[in-house]
Amino acid sequence: MRLLLLAVGNRQPEWVNDGYREYERRFPPHLTLKLQEISAPRRGKSRDAEQVREEEGERLLKAIPEGAYVIALDERGQSVTTRVLSGKLADWLQVGRDVVLMIGGADGLADGCLQRADWRWSLSALTLPHGLTRIMVAEQLYRANSLLEGHPYHRA
């Protein structure tokens, strides 16, 4: 099964890239995590935040593989424990569909992305930088899988 992280923006500090890659490389061959960066549209005086968010949304939706289970990272989504996330991952593995996780741009996800999502996941009630969100998603998915496989990485 493949986990695909779609993230708006392609200019992250090196510490973000290093942190994300550290977790990406730890995934086992039967469960891969890949990042696909979606270029952010240019902002300008003639374009408001809603127009930019809608264009980002169109780009995100076009990148979703057919038949994928889609998760929107959204502050209004469901907050879960690592054990609950591990159970969800077990369900996704059993079904065998690719899973896509969407991280929007500075103004959040477009309504179309939220409507397309099969599940909305909130990492925190805090406002998080998008680069840090990439790392946190990768780490939590790795931790959830470690729990499924009985590895000592997760200590509840």
Residue 154 lies in a domain: no
pLDDT at 156: 60
pLDDT at 43: 76
128 marked as binding residue: yes
- Intervals of the chain under pLDDT 50: none
Q: Which domain holds residue 117?
A: 2-148
Number of domains in the chain: 1
Q: How far apart are CA 50 and CA 72, in angstroms?
A: 18
Residues in the chain: 156
141 marked as binding residue: no
125 marked as binding residue: yes
Q: How far apart are CA 77 and CA 119, in angstroms?
A: 8
For residue 48, give the amino acid letter. Answer: D
Residue 88 lies in a domain: yes
79 marked as binding residue: no
Residue 156 lies in a domain: no
Residue 12 lies in a domain: yes
Q: How far apart are CA 73 and CA 133, in angstroms?
A: 9
pLDDT at 154: 59
Among 11, 39, 43, 23, residue whose Cα is nearest residue 141? 23
| Domain harbouring 19, CATH code | 3.40.1280.10
pLDDT at 153: 64
CB neighbours of 25 closer than 8 A, spacing ≥ 6?
Answer: none
109 marked as binding residue: no
